[in-house]
Amino acid sequence: KQEVTQIPAALSVPEGENLVLNCSFTDSAIYNLQWFRQDPGKGLTSLLLIQSSQREQTSGRLNASLDKSSGRSTLYIAASQPGDSATYLCAVRPFRAAGNKLTFGGGTRVLVKP
């Protein structure tokens, strides 16, 4: 059974500092990995999706890397801003034939202080 872990569970940084969020998964037979953002009391917003054949994806200040063989992904957020404060979740999808069933990590709660 796939297990996804995110460490640390919470992170507090001063504005301008780079953020590094970690995600690990136990079964490397994944189809893709996604990073989501969740604001308090709200739904999830997709940030980046990395296919299993890719090593990284970039969008603006966000960069996500994937090392499937070691079961790890890292989300980098450059030059953090107070508006980046949220919970960040990673989720893995198993091989395509199994359907779009995501397994989520517990999330990392980020606070960026002005």
Interface residues with other proteins (CB under 8 A) are 4, 31-32, 34, 36, 41-46, 49, 89, 91, 93, 99-107
- Min separation Cβ 15 and other proteins, Å: 27
Strands 4-7 and 19-25, by their bridges, are antiparallel
- Min separation Cβ 79 and other proteins, Å: 25
- Name the residue nearer to other proteins (CB basis): 47 or 80: 47
Q: Which residues contact 8 (CB under 8 A, 6 or more apart)?
A: 22, 108
- Name the residue nearer to other proteins (CB basis): 34 or 80: 34
Residues forming a β-bridge with 92: 33, 103
